[in-house]
Amino acid sequence: MHAFRSRLGGLAYGGDYNPEQWDRATWREDVRLMREAGVNLVSLGIFAWVAIEPEPGEYEFGWLDEVMDLLHEGGVSVNLATPTAVPPAWLTQLHPEVFPIMEDGRPLGLGSRQHFDHASPVYREYAANIVTRLAERYSFHPALAMWHVNNEYGPTSYSEAAADGFRRWLRRRYGDLDTLNAAWTTSFWGQVYTDWNQIEVANVMGVWMNPARRLDFRRFTSDSLLECYLAERDILRSFRDDIPVMTNLMSFYPHADYWRWAPEQDVAALDVYPDPGDSESHISTAFHYDMFRSLKNGQPWMVMEQAASAVNWRDVNLAKEPGRMRLGSLQALAHGSDSVMFFQWRAARGGVERFHSAMVPHSGPDSRTFREIADLGHELSLLAPVAGTTMRCADVAILFDWNGRWGLEDTGWLPRDDFDYGEIVLRHHRPLWKHHHTIDVVSPRSDLAPYKVLIIPNAYLIDDEGVAAVTEFARAGGTVVMSFFSGVVDECDRVRPDGYPGAFRHLIGAKIDEYWPARPGERFAVRFADGRTATASWWREDIHLETGTALARYADGPLAGRAAIVANAYGSGRVVYFSTLLDDAAFHAVLLDQIRMAGVTDPFPGLPAHVECTVREGGRNEYLFLLNHSPDVDVAVPLDRSGVDLLTGAAATEEITLAPLGAAVIQTTRVPDSAV
Amino acid sequence: MHAFRSRLGGLAYGGDYNPEQWDRATWREDVRLMREAGVNLVSLGIFAWVAIEPEPGEYEFGWLDEVMDLLHEGGVSVNLATPTAVPPAWLTQLHPEVFPIMEDGRPLGLGSRQHFDHASPVYREYAANIVTRLAERYSFHPALAMWHVNNEYGPTSYSEAAADGFRRWLRRRYGDLDTLNAAWTTSFWGQVYTDWNQIEVANVMGVWMNPARRLDFRRFTSDSLLECYLAERDILRSFRDDIPVMTNLMSFYPHADYWRWAPEQDVAALDVYPDPGDSESHISTAFHYDMFRSLKNGQPWMVMEQAASAVNWRDVNLAKEPGRMRLGSLQALAHGSDSVMFFQWRAARGGVERFHSAMVPHSGPDSRTFREIADLGHELSLLAPVAGTTMRCADVAILFDWNGRWGLEDTGWLPRDDFDYGEIVLRHHRPLWKHHHTIDVVSPRSDLAPYKVLIIPNAYLIDDEGVAAVTEFARAGGTVVMSFFSGVVDECDRVRPDGYPGAFRHLIGAKIDEYWPARPGERFAVRFADGRTATASWWREDIHLETGTALARYADGPLAGRAAIVANAYGSGRVVYFSTLLDDAAFHAVLLDQIRMAGVTDPFPGLPAHVECTVREGGRNEYLFLLNHSPDVDVAVPLDRSGVDLLTGAAATEEITLAPLGAAVIQTTRVPDSAV
Amino acid sequence: MHAFRSRLGGLAYGGDYNPEQWDRATWREDVRLMREAGVNLVSLGIFAWVAIEPEPGEYEFGWLDEVMDLLHEGGVSVNLATPTAVPPAWLTQLHPEVFPIMEDGRPLGLGSRQHFDHASPVYREYAANIVTRLAERYSFHPALAMWHVNNEYGPTSYSEAAADGFRRWLRRRYGDLDTLNAAWTTSFWGQVYTDWNQIEVANVMGVWMNPARRLDFRRFTSDSLLECYLAERDILRSFRDDIPVMTNLMSFYPHADYWRWAPEQDVAALDVYPDPGDSESHISTAFHYDMFRSLKNGQPWMVMEQAASAVNWRDVNLAKEPGRMRLGSLQALAHGSDSVMFFQWRAARGGVERFHSAMVPHSGPDSRTFREIADLGHELSLLAPVAGTTMRCADVAILFDWNGRWGLEDTGWLPRDDFDYGEIVLRHHRPLWKHHHTIDVVSPRSDLAPYKVLIIPNAYLIDDEGVAAVTEFARAGGTVVMSFFSGVVDECDRVRPDGYPGAFRHLIGAKIDEYWPARPGERFAVRFADGRTATASWWREDIHLETGTALARYADGPLAGRAAIVANAYGSGRVVYFSTLLDDAAFHAVLLDQIRMAGVTDPFPGLPAHVECTVREGGRNEYLFLLNHSPDVDVAVPLDRSGVDLLTGAAATEEITLAPLGAAVIQTTRVPDSAV
């Protein structure tokens, strides 16, 4: 990435570029407009397999050579894509087994995209070939700055090839059938396997299916997709190893465990599409940004795709109001991104995504969108010093775990069936964001030592290593904040023995006798030790305190008098456990109390919640990002240091005023304690 | 049709007749009751294939001969059906490929109806044979008055035969693959076809499918169904060409482009089932009636099916209250129909439609329904002079276009996904009906010259010929009223270049930078030039006026100040464009203003909205239809001429009073300007 | 059953026991806890096929021998299961045709349960073999007390084997195709079959399918499942005929006609799962209990499965509050059960039902649930005298008919499509329960002579024999209370001729001209002869009185003035017919009036509705069950006799007070008239 960063000399700016949809005259116009907009990087050829290899073994590189040269002449670097997300029609005609088999048993057909079976040896062979040809031809092209492998890996397949792959994967994981039978609890309902070939992938029963098999099929699919990525990456590296290789990921994506993927990428790259119809989407976006910074331990990451305005795949696709796209882009930088990239450069005339916005929309350069794009390009050039800088490790970490998510959402038949892992995690993040805490996102394998507080949203499924890590974190003095229905099952979805929560009974100092989900619409009261009450809903637990003490107790209903929130000292640390879903205000208050008690100070006290503040550091400088997410009010932010607002070039001292949706990026000389 | 009309000597009255469900005694009772009810036409044998050909090549015409003779003796003419909507079980047993393949890939089985694959050569061969045998035997039977081909053509198939047919159709349409690839924008997502056989029909991806392919598959299906009809029609005509041939159509039916079908029929025939639970269903029914009159340029058309009371296929099937069936029947005549026909003569004892009402219900002739049927039969005999008369060309035309509809509803991934073309069209018709305007319905291929006003409901997709026709209409002095999201794509669903609305930017005198669908439940204000405001919802557009002027502007929200309704002079004409969904009152007011400004006068000023008034003309007479759709109040209608109410035989002068759900048909001598 | 009863020496108490999920140490702990809890019967090995026969023809009985011996030593009898509900993976690997074919045409795969095709000869052969092996080995084991065949029979199959079986079943039923064609009204839509092999089972058309075929496929499936049961039962009996054989049933289960199944079982056994989230679930549970007592003519029956607390398959699975499980268990005894059994003894660690509660929950014996289980076990031992006693025949019977239900719910395309037979039946039962009437449930084949009142909830479909039985009941002096849309079609779903309701026109003394379902949300008034009015909704009928008289008339709407409730004298009896859905209060009042007029006295006048009272009788004793279903209030119940409360051992005279959710079982010496 160092060479890549030097090459760009600043932040990356650009988008997906599909010249195969346009004529030569448009190419030249494109490069002209790219220069006008300050674009310095495009992702090229993502779906261009058939354009490059129109018949098996016949290659047409001419057009691509020309585009690469044109871009290079125009000063635009290329993130060159392997086009393996879309096998050509001739390939599926020749080898129909390349089509993935959907959950209902039918093969996916032509006319869409990502119609490849990740487990198909034929697909993998043809993909390796086209990647090799591309690498042969372009590895040393002067425009080449990065390799973009495939696109949004995710297609799942229930094919015979997938079944073969699954059985091989299971053999590696379990060794023998006895172990597998134990892991899957096949003694329940008499499902014992006596031959590896009895194991199927079809999922005709929906949630009536063995939950451990569902879990493992999730894991296998993620791993098999990753094999596809690795095969391509290794080919590319075999030609030249100083060009970064990545594939674009999608944050809360269910089909791939990004904690396993990130180490294999040279940079974490995010496709992000906040809904303009959601007035708090910038808060969840902040979490996604923090996750992508965390995926590779704080290294600068990339926004690889976002929308210039509306998308085309929601029920109602709202346009982004003026200033919203700019603010969201600066927000990415504020969370450690070194790029602002879009899907797509120029709006397509036809196809499924013809109404997806673009940097150059259907209405052409004389449009609100292109003007905002060009303005942003100029601003990003002013922010060049930010490139390569990083953010300090946060004090507070939030656990996000694909295995935990699959356990909660995909195994089925839990005490209630409407857990939404993403929403649960965001509910824990929201109060922190509103108090200007930048957080890190961690997995059960992360190094937890640097953190003061570890927040564990409903961790229904957590493996032994994860349990040990959390336990050690608390023992060593950390504060753990944990939500209900955590620590219930092991990595095979087996209920941990000796009473709930088997994994964390020692940590929370209490045994849970029974889960008591609340009926729809039911609300009930909890009373705190100081007599104040709050309302709660959705879930209850019948808690029997052991070493723990009650911060609050149920005040009515069948569990009246029992502990609702438990605090427990553990080792040098402290654990707080919520057994119910408190209403927001009370939940936020208790959560923030715990964070303060853990010695984490409010980073920007007195600042309105809608102003986001973060700091990047590099060399002798700091960069204070101030973002006003209110579309209605301006806000005066007091400053405790002097610097220069890079966006305006103006000196910033004592106070700076942010317009609605306004922002400032204040460069200061580094001081030990940064505060507004 | 002339011979047919002479034969009946008045209006056609009757229904579907299925003697194969009943014994001989019932046949005689049927003919007796038909005479009692004034029935003069029945549609015979619609599902009788297996009754006529119980084994391959073995024919049993005896029962049909007998029924034809009985009807003839009873003075009832026959609209004899080809029975090809229901292949016999022996045919699908012998040739399972006759079954159509459904969208999910499974063949349709036995036990229902219309289980034929329109593209199957085997089906077509067997169908041609049975039609030939019927024509041989009955072409000169004295009872024969009309041929009824098949029934409600529509079954779609995703079979291999359909794929073959689709590829042949595409070759004819596009000639070569380059043209097809350009038409389908296959450069998007790398979907380029390099061999015709790569083209599939399976639709496993739903709306993720290439939208142009979806469009063309719609068109192909309509055309292939039409081939089936034409093949049968041509066989029938080869025996005798003075018997009218038709097939029954279903108004807003998605599977066939009736503008292409109507010219091939000798009469437009409508199956119509207004919902008694919808208090405004008579208004939408008026539109369907106007459409069927328009399909064949104003010629008298036929109601081929309606329900005597309840249907059986809604969630809740309400009975028609007393008088409702009569009024709806007279309404058909008021819009130019020459028939009142029902599904069905006698209620079936078993089968899926056992609870569909009939002229002779389960409770027999001693029933409310049969009494109303017999009364209506008597009234229709009094209305015989109306038969063969026509209506004047309307001043106002509304565009209804199957291609536009498919574009809006089936291509997918639009700025919002809940367009309902039928409801959109009806929203434009409702204010006109409430002000007693009879309208014509036109296609992009219709002759627009006779009209003063052309109303274009959301015409997202319109082809170049349509654009030229609309442009010429305005240029020549017409008034065009157009709604938002019109003129966006060409006939291949490609966004027209140079800014929205590519097809109509010159007409509306404005460029639209971006579409801004509104969030669910959002309401906003528009302000007219005179300061009045109205509320709007659902959709907005960012309009930049060029030659146009603003009739109203957005008063709040992100587009505050921009034009919301645009007026533009074009050639000798005028164009008014609504960029948002105004609330009903404001929309009606603006729409009616535009119509008045175009020189169209209120045909029946002062009449309550619930009284429908239309005029048929023929020879030296006019027939003024007055229909009171209120079930609660009677109404006194002033008359400006004298005549005779054909229903009562009473003189009608100065004023006539209509009871709730009452009607009058006043015959007058023709005068140049008809008005109440 | 006599030997069984003697063996247990009291009530049966226990649950499903799956030792194959646990190790030997747990087995010993299990037996210890069973003794502690008073368990005397377990259902063993329900899904243990693969545990017993791990490879084809290889048997491992060792573990089962050991468990049987351990249980026997511990004083626990065994209800030994045939494990045929779950074919081993080796069997489906060897013979994939054992998998049933689902309605969508796909085979059910592994990973769930009940993946057997009831019509498969291969399945039946392997099932017979394993049953034979089990019977050989355990028929004379001292622990064996009962045979439990399969589990919750129900899987439907659309396989070729099912099609073969269906055709054979149809040949037996109809003899020739003409009869079948008439029965299925195939003359409608030209569906006539000319070869048995044309008959399919695939159901691709949903409700568009011939309704009589749907009905017969329901009947065939029930009969074919019953054949599976009978084959196993007969094998078991061939070894020893003094061990009762049963299979567990599920009350309102759609897939099997339990009236045909019950005579083949030695005891009626119910799996029952009232929803703790439904505050009236104890009322519907009372109906299910009465049905299971009635299935075998009042003989003691068994609760074979219930939940100790929450289940795991609802959207939200509420725990049972303290005391609720005990009260529900005593309620079963109060309605004639001789057992209280649970699914399951010990909560599974993994698998789909890991969160289904158990007698020994995940939190172990030191838990609320196990304490309640042990307490209940103690109480049941005090109630041993109740075992084997029975209840008097009720005065009021309610008709529950699977054919009627299938007609109403599965044939499709009725005047409205939202009939819910179970809810309709329960609506008729609820007022009776609230007035302390214990009812019997009858089929059209039951002996109706003992009853004073027969309640017939919407009996849309009823066969000739049923019509004759109801007619004779009225003729002989009984009171029939019947609800709308009854007597409409014959057993082939053919509308009975001569006007609605063809089957019962003579009984109700009125002809119905037309059904008038009400529009959603519509409410209307009926006026009684005394001038009082009530509101009604959902349905109306256009009634023409013949011999009947109007108890109430429609007061508004299109049928104003027509009869709404009809009374008719018939023979020595009386018939009351509701043509609309009265609001609860009015419906309850009229229904209870009719019951009183029929000479049925209030059994416990003055008692609050939430206190349930029933009486069991045996030898010289009576057992008065008093159950307070209120969770909030206690209630003092006056007694008119003296006895002993078996639960406390205390004398009960004059009055007894029941705590919230409290109960008493008062043993008294038998007197001719029992009353509180």
Output the domain CATH number for residue B294: 3.20.20.80
- Chain C contact for B352 (CB, 8 A cutoff): yes
- Is B189's CB within 8 Å of A362's CB? no
- Is B349's CB within 8 Å of C500's CB? no
> Residue range B555-583: average pLDDT?
97
Judge whether residue B670 has pLDDT over 90.
Answer: no
- The backbone torsions φ and ψ at residue C662, rounded to the nearest 5 degrees and listed phi first, read -90, 165
Residue B493: list chain A partners with CB under 8 A: 350, 354
Tokens coding C439: 């009812």
Does residue C458 sit in the same domain as residue C543?
yes
Note the pLDDT of residue C592. Answer: 97
Of B185, B198, B499, the CB nearest to A350: B185
- Is A353's CB within 8 Å of B210's CB? no
Residue A92: list chain B partners with CB under 8 A: 198
- Cβ contacts of B618 within 8 Å, gap of 6 or more: B385, B386, B388, B389, B390
Residue of A nearest to C278 (CA): A519
Tokens coding B452: 């003063």
d(C-alpha C437, C-alpha B363), whole Å? 39
**Active-site annotation holder among C20, C53, C125, C152:** C152
Taking the CA of residue A418 and the nearest CA in chain C, the distance in Å comes to 7
Does residue B658 sit in the same domain as residue B592?
no
- Chain A contact for C111 (CB, 8 A cutoff): yes
Q: Which segments of B are annotated as binding site?
A: 113, 151, 313
Residue A500: list chain C partners with CB under 8 A: 362-363
CB–CB of A18/A359 below 8 Å? no
Does residue B358 sit in the same domain as residue B465?
no
A406 is in an annotated binding site: no
Does residue C510 sit in the same domain as residue C571?
yes
Output the domain CATH number for residue B641: 2.60.40.1180
Of C188, C213, C516, the CB nearest to B348: C188
Number of helices (H) and strands (E), helices first, in chain A?
18, 27
Number of helices (H) and strands (E), helices first, in chain B?
18, 27
- Chain A contact for C309 (CB, 8 A cutoff): yes
Judge whether residue B62 has pLDDT over 80.
Answer: yes
Place B2 in a pLDDT band, splitting at 50, 70 and 90. Answer: confident
Taking the CA of residue C111 and the nearest CA in chain A, the distance in Å comes to 5
Of A192, A417, A515, the CB nearest to C89: A192
Place B676 in a pLDDT band, splitting at 50, 70 and 90. Answer: very low
Burial of B420 (0-12, 13-18, 19+ CB in 10 A): middle
- Cβ contacts of C489 within 8 Å, gap of 6 or more: B354, C407, C460, C461, C495, C496, C502
CB–CB of B178/B141 below 8 Å? no
d(C-alpha C475, C-alpha C482), whole Å? 15
- The backbone torsions φ and ψ at residue B266, rounded to the nearest 5 degrees and listed phi first, read -80, -20
Residue of B nearest to C215 (CA): B351
- Helices B281-295 and B324-334, axial angle in degrees (round to 10): 30
Q: What is the pLDDT of residues A166-211, one digit of tens each?
A: 999 999 999 999 999 999 999 999 999 999 999 999 777 655 889 9
d(C-alpha B458, C-alpha B578), whole Å? 10
Strand C533-537 and strand A12-17: pairing? unpaired
- Is B318's CB within 8 Å of C519's CB? yes
- Chain A contact for C109 (CB, 8 A cutoff): yes
- Whether residue C52 lies inside any domain: the answer is yes
Concatenated DSSP letters for C505-542? HHHHTEEEEEE-PPPTT-EEEEEETTS-EEEEES--EE
**Average pLDDT across chain C, whole number:** 96
Residue C363: list chain A partners with CB under 8 A: 499-500, 511-514
By three-state DSSP, how is residue A171 classified? Answer: helix
DSSP code, position A97: G
- Is C317's CB within 8 Å of A493's CB? no
- Helices C211-239 and C402-410, axial angle in degrees (round to 10): 140
Q: Please name the amino acid found at residue B518.
A: A
Domain end position, chosen among A369, A387, A405: A387
Residue C317: list chain A partners with CB under 8 A: 415-416, 517
- Chain C contact for B59 (CB, 8 A cutoff): no
- Is A363's CB within 8 Å of B187's CB? no
Output the domain CATH number for residue A444: 3.40.50.880
- Cβ contacts of C122 within 8 Å, gap of 6 or more: C95, C97, C98
d(C-alpha C614, C-alpha C625), whole Å? 5
- Cβ contacts of A593 within 8 Å, gap of 6 or more: none
- Chain B contact for C413 (CB, 8 A cutoff): yes
Q: Please name the amino acid found at residue A572.
A: S
Taking the CA of residue C257 and the nearest CA in chain B, the distance in Å comes to 23
Does residue A413 sit in the same domain as residue A485?
yes
Note the pLDDT of residue A675. Answer: 46
- Whether residue B258 lies inside any domain: the answer is no
C113 is in an annotated binding site: yes
Residue of B nearest to A54 (CA): B194
Does residue A592 sit in the same domain as residue A670?
no
Note the pLDDT of residue B641. Answer: 87
- Chain C contact for A521 (CB, 8 A cutoff): no
Judge whether residue C673 has pLDDT over 60.
Answer: no
Judge whether residue C671 has pLDDT over 70.
Answer: no
For chain C, give the number of residues. 676
Q: What is the pLDDT of residues A273-291, one digit of tens each?
A: 999 999 999 999 999 999 9
- Whether residue A623 lies inside any domain: the answer is yes
Note the pLDDT of residue C203. Answer: 73
d(C-alpha C241, C-alpha C234), whole Å? 9
For residue B506, give its domain range. 396-597
Taking the CA of residue B366 and the nearest CA in chain C, the distance in Å comes to 9
Of all residues in chain C, what percent carry a pLDDT higher than 70?
Answer: 99
- Is B516's CB within 8 Å of A318's CB? yes
DSSP code, position A534: E
Q: Please name the amino acid found at residue C180.
A: L
Does residue C33 sit in the same domain as residue C156?
no
ipTM of predicted complex: 0.95
Does residue B359 sit in the same domain as residue B448?
no
- Chain B contact for C518 (CB, 8 A cutoff): yes
- Whether residue C371 lies inside any domain: the answer is yes
Place B675 in a pLDDT band, splitting at 50, 70 and 90. Answer: very low
Q: What is the pLDDT of residues A334-372, one digit of tens each?
A: 999 999 999 999 999 999 999 999 999 999 999 999 999
Note the pLDDT of residue A676. Answer: 43
Judge whether residue C204 has pLDDT over 80.
Answer: no
- The backbone torsions φ and ψ at residue B563, rounded to the nearest 5 degrees and listed phi first, read -65, 140
Does residue A359 sit in the same domain as residue A419?
no
Which chains have at least 3 CB atom pairs separated by less than 8 Å from chain A?
Answer: B, C
Note the pLDDT of residue B206. Answer: 58
Residue of C nearest to A104 (CA): C106
- Whether residue C603 lies inside any domain: the answer is no
- Chain C contact for B351 (CB, 8 A cutoff): yes
- Is A349's CB within 8 Å of B192's CB? no
Place B640 in a pLDDT band, splitting at 50, 70 and 90. Answer: confident
Domain end position, chosen among B353, B369, B387: B387
- Chain C contact for A196 (CB, 8 A cutoff): no
CB atoms within 10 A of CB C539: 21
Tokens coding B433: 């009906």
Note the pLDDT of residue A2. Answer: 86
> Residue range C313-317: average pLDDT?
97
Count of domains for chain B: 4
- Whether residue B259 lies inside any domain: the answer is no
- Whether residue A250 lies inside any domain: the answer is no
- Chain A contact for B498 (CB, 8 A cutoff): yes
Judge whether residue C119 has pLDDT over 70.
Answer: yes
Taking the CA of residue C162 and the nearest CA in chain A, the distance in Å comes to 19
Note the pLDDT of residue C206. Answer: 58
> Residue range A319-332: average pLDDT?
98
By three-state DSSP, how is residue A353 classified? Answer: coil
Kindly give the residue spans of alpha helices, DSSP state H, lying in B480-565: 505-508
**Active-site annotation holder among C53, C232, C305, C409:** C305
Domain end position, chosen among A547, A566, A597: A597
> Residue range C502-513: average pLDDT?
98
- Is C319's CB within 8 Å of A514's CB? yes
Note the pLDDT of residue C1. Answer: 84
Taking the CA of residue B119 and the nearest CA in chain C, the distance in Å comes to 20
Note the pLDDT of residue B673. Answer: 54
Of A187, A209, A514, the CB nearest to C21: A187
Note the pLDDT of residue C264. Answer: 98
- Is A110's CB within 8 Å of B191's CB? yes
Of B18, B88, B352, the CB nearest to C208: B352
Please choose, from the candidates B271, B155, B158, B135, the residue with its C-alpha nearest in 3D space to the C-alpha of residue B205: B158
The residues of B carrying an active-site annotation are: 152, 305
- Is A558's CB within 8 Å of C321's CB? yes
Note the pLDDT of residue C675. Answer: 46
Which comes out higher in pLDDT, residue C270 or B207? C270
Burial of C638 (0-12, 13-18, 19+ CB in 10 A): exposed
Place A640 in a pLDDT band, splitting at 50, 70 and 90. Answer: confident
Q: What is the pLDDT of residues A260-271, one digit of tens each?
A: 999 999 999 999
Tokens coding C525: 């008034």
Taking the CA of residue C89 and the nearest CA in chain A, the distance in Å comes to 6
Taking the CA of residue A357 and the nearest CA in chain B, the distance in Å comes to 9
Residue A323: list chain B partners with CB under 8 A: none
Which neighbouring-strand residues pair with B144?
B78
- Is A106's CB within 8 Å of B414's CB? no
By three-state DSSP, how is residue B200 classified? Answer: coil
Does residue B35 sit in the same domain as residue B55?
no
pTM of this structure: 0.96
d(C-alpha B399, C-alpha B424), whole Å? 11
Residue A418: list chain C partners with CB under 8 A: 315-316
- Is B21's CB within 8 Å of C187's CB? yes
- Chain A contact for B546 (CB, 8 A cutoff): no
Cα-trace Rg, chain C: 26
- Whether residue C559 lies inside any domain: the answer is yes
Number of helices (H) and strands (E), helices first, in chain C?
18, 27
- Cβ contacts of A370 within 8 Å, gap of 6 or more: A33, A37, A359, A360, A361, A364
Does residue B363 sit in the same domain as residue B314?
yes
- Chain B contact for C129 (CB, 8 A cutoff): no
Does residue C579 sit in the same domain as residue C634?
no
Strand B245-246 and strand C621-628: pairing? unpaired
